[in-house]
Each structure stands twice: as C-alpha cells, then as structure tokens.
Amino acid sequence: MSPFKERAKEMADQTISLRRTLHQNPELGFKEFKTSNLVSEFLEEYGVKVRRGLAVTGLVAEIEGQSGEANGMLRFDMDALPIHEETGLEFASKTSGVMHACGHDGHMAAGVSVARMLQEQHASLPGNVKCIFQPAEEGDGGAKKMIEEGVLKNPKPDFILGFHLWNEKPTGTICIKSGPLMAAGDTFEIRVSGKGGHGGLPQQTIDPIVCAAQIVTALQTIVSRNLSPFDQAVLSLGSIHGGTTFNVIPDEVKVKGTLRTFDKLIREKMLERMKEIIQGTATAMGCRGELTVSEIAPAVINDARIAQRVKAAVAGKYPELMIDESYQTSVSEDFGYYLEDVPGCYLLIGSGNAAKGKIYSHHHPRFDFDEDVLSLAAGILADCCIALLRESPID
Ligand code: NI
C-alpha cells in the first residue's frame, strides 16, 4: 500500500475545494495572476518554497530531499479557455466568457496536493523535486517560455512527469504509453491572392474563390495519396474567408487550418506537399498562393524506459486501475517541449464518468470531470516521482 495514496485520500476534500475555487476564477494564458497567487499561497501554507514570476505567471515549487543527487520535475498547467461556461455547476466560472474547460483547475489542485505530500516526506525523499506550474498551455507558448527562462536548468532534471485528466477515458483507467502519445500541432494560414472585380464580368478578374476551392479539395489528397497507410497525420481546415457580397469577386481568400503529426519527418513531408499544392494550384489558376505555418507544440513522445518504470509503479500500487498502453490522441499538448530536452512521461488519467454525468469532452462549454480522480492523480504522481528518484539516473 502506498502512503501517498492514503494521504491523498485524506486530503481529498481540500483538493476538491481548491479545484472549485480555481474553477470559479479562471484566467487566460499569461494572465493567471490571481491563479498563481492562490496556488503559491497554498503551497507556502504547506511549507513549500515557491519561486514566482517565471514566464510571467509561472511558479516553481521546490522540495529539497535529504539524500541523493537525483532531481525530478512535475509539471502542472494553469490556464483557462475563452469559452462561456454552460455547466450550471454551483462553482461555475464567475468570469463571463472564460472557463476552465480543459481541467487545468484540477491539475493545479492535484499539483498542490502532490507538492504538499512530498514536502511532508522531504526528510526521506531520495532526491529533490521541482513542481512547476506553467501558464498558457492552450497554444500560447507557455512551456516554451518556461524553458527559455531556464526552468530546465540548475539543475537539469533527470526526468519530468505530467498528467492530464482525460474525459475520453473512464475513471479507473490510466494511459501510460511509450513513444508518441499526443500529436505535434501546427496552425497555418493560406492566403490566395487574385484580382477582384464585378461578379458579372469574371473574365476581367482572377478569381481567388475558385482557386481556394481547388486548393481545399487538393489538400485532402495529401494524407490519402502521399502518406503510407501506416503513417499518421491529420489536416483539417477550420476557417475560410473571402469576399463581402454576392456580385463582387474579392482580391483575396484566407483559409486557416491545423496539422497534427506524430513524427518529425512526416510533419516535414506534409508541409512540403501543402506548399507545393498551394503554390502549384494558385499558379495554374493565375493566382498567388502563400502558406504561413506556426507551431503550437511538438509531439508528446514518452521515454520508453521512464514509461516502463511508471507503469511498474502504478501497477504495483494501484492494481485496481486499468492500464492502457496503446491509447494515442491527435490532440496536442505543449508538454512535448519539455520532452525534447528531458526524458519523461505524460500520463492521461481517465476522468469521464457517465453515471455522474461527466460526459462532455475537453473544451466543451459543459465540460466537467470526476473530482474523485484528483486525489488518485495526486497519489500516482507522488508515487511515480519517488520510484523514479530512487532509480535515477535512469539508463
Ligand atoms: Ni489541457
């Protein structure tokens, strides 16, 4: 039996209460000022040393162990989304148009409990642990900024762990996968420029709408015709804009979309083909086609050795859980940036519960998760962290 599992259960009410306070007061990326104040107040109350102001609102909670040279890192994210909450919960968001619709409120609450438990046990910790609370996970580059500002230095951690509450999986399930778990995400904009004019006189124009339509269709052939059936990629277009009225051909059309891949070479191949299709189709139709790409996050690729040890720790201490070792998702997560520098493992902990009505997916205005998972997650993170500290350096 794990002492952390028991301790996390004892603290469950406090963890849930902090989650609800955070849920009521959501803040968007790099604006998590009240959030980060509240989290640090709690950490300090529990005797944890906190460094503030990294990447604007980021926090580093430092727990110094008494023995060993090993250094572990645990990461929790803090930002909410620009979504108007429709859950009707008694602790629903008090800020109109902003909502913790991804569960990061739960991540922070569990993170505070993990730091608290590790601090309570610091005299026997086989190494040091930094719990980092990161701003702006939702596509605004929070992880990148934390790394640029040195979170992975002095000392460089031996490993990093993180988790996401995951409503796509039921409570009682945990996904621990070696290798690619979550996709690299890119956003892109296609600009098709032609020559506008009267809708009744198309011969005097170069119509970017017809050209954009051809490009939209041709892009669908990359995954189906240029990739091997054993490779994976998603290319989705989410916005197309051009023109203002029925009888005017516009000068320009803009198309926006996202690309998801699990492998760097596949990503390059996709981008190369996109460029060829956009430019080639535009040229053939007398237009100009440009592609602008910006990276949201690299793929989350778990280190096989660490994933193996995490699995052993979870299987040993939480035998009641169903471990899924094959689940993969094309959602992206900026934890991938840390994994480019430090070996680690990102876990998806099932938090969907139909019996409790927790059936909505992440980023839905009615999203909510099974709160009983918070103490479970806290126990798992603490246990896995200790197991890895004991075995560091990991080879
Ligand atoms: Ni999230």
For 216-256, how does the pLDDT look when each residue is reduced to its tens digit (9 = 90+)? 999 999 999 999 999 999 999 999 999 999 999 999 999 99
Distance 217 CA to ligand 1 centre (A): 31
0.85 exceeded by pTM: yes
Distance 151 CA to ligand 1 centre (A): 20
Give residue-wise pLDDT tens across range 154-200: 999 999 999 999 999 999 999 999 999 999 999 999 999 999 999 99
Going along the chain from its start, the domains and CATH numbers come out as: 3-180+299-391 (3.40.630.10), 184-297 (3.30.70.360)
Distance 136 CA to ligand 1 centre (A): 10
- Nearest residue to 102 via CA among 132, 79, 86, 134: 79
| % of residues, the chain, pLDDT over 90 | 96
Please provide the average confidence, as pLDDT, over all residues in the chain. 97
> Any residues with CB less than 8 A from the CB of 153 and at least 6 apart, and which?
none
Distance 368 CA to ligand 1 centre (A): 13
Specify the pairing of strand 252-261 against strand 184-193: antiparallel
HSE at residue 275, side-chain half, CA atoms within 13 A, is 8
Amino acid at 38: L
The strand pairing partners of 163, in sequence order, are 347
Q: At which residue do the structure tokens 């996904």 appear?
A: 175
> Any residues with CB less than 8 A from the CB of 333 and at least 6 apart, and which?
137, 164, 182, 297, 300, 346
Distance 81 CA to ligand 1 centre (A): 9
Calculate mean pLDDT across residues 7-22. 98
* CA separation for the pair 20, 161 (Å, rounded): 24
Distance 27 CA to ligand 1 centre (A): 14
Check residue 67 and give its pLDDT.
74
Is residue 1 predicted with pLDDT exceeding 70?
A: no
Distance 232 CA to ligand 1 centre (A): 22
Q: At which residue do the structure tokens 């197309």 appear?
A: 240
Calculate mean pLDDT across residues 99-127. 97
Is residue 342 predicted with pLDDT exceeding 70?
A: yes
Distance 93 CA to ligand 1 centre (A): 17
Check residue 187 and give its pLDDT.
96
Distance 164 CA to ligand 1 centre (A): 7
Is residue 139 predicted with pLDDT exceeding 90?
A: no
Q: For the ranges 35-44, 235-244, 385-394, which has the lowest average pLDDT? A: 385-394
| % of residues, the chain, pLDDT over 70 | 100
Distance 258 CA to ligand 1 centre (A): 17
Cα dist from 343 to 29, 251, 338, whole Å: 26, 49, 8
Distance 356 CA to ligand 1 centre (A): 21
* CA separation for the pair 361, 352 (Å, rounded): 9
Distance 208 CA to ligand 1 centre (A): 37
- Nearest residue to 288 via CA among 276, 280, 299: 280
Distance 273 CA to ligand 1 centre (A): 30
Distance 6 CA to ligand 1 centre (A): 27
Distance 103 CA to ligand 1 centre (A): 6
Calculate mean pLDDT across residues 203-224. 98
Distance 102 CA to ligand 1 centre (A): 5
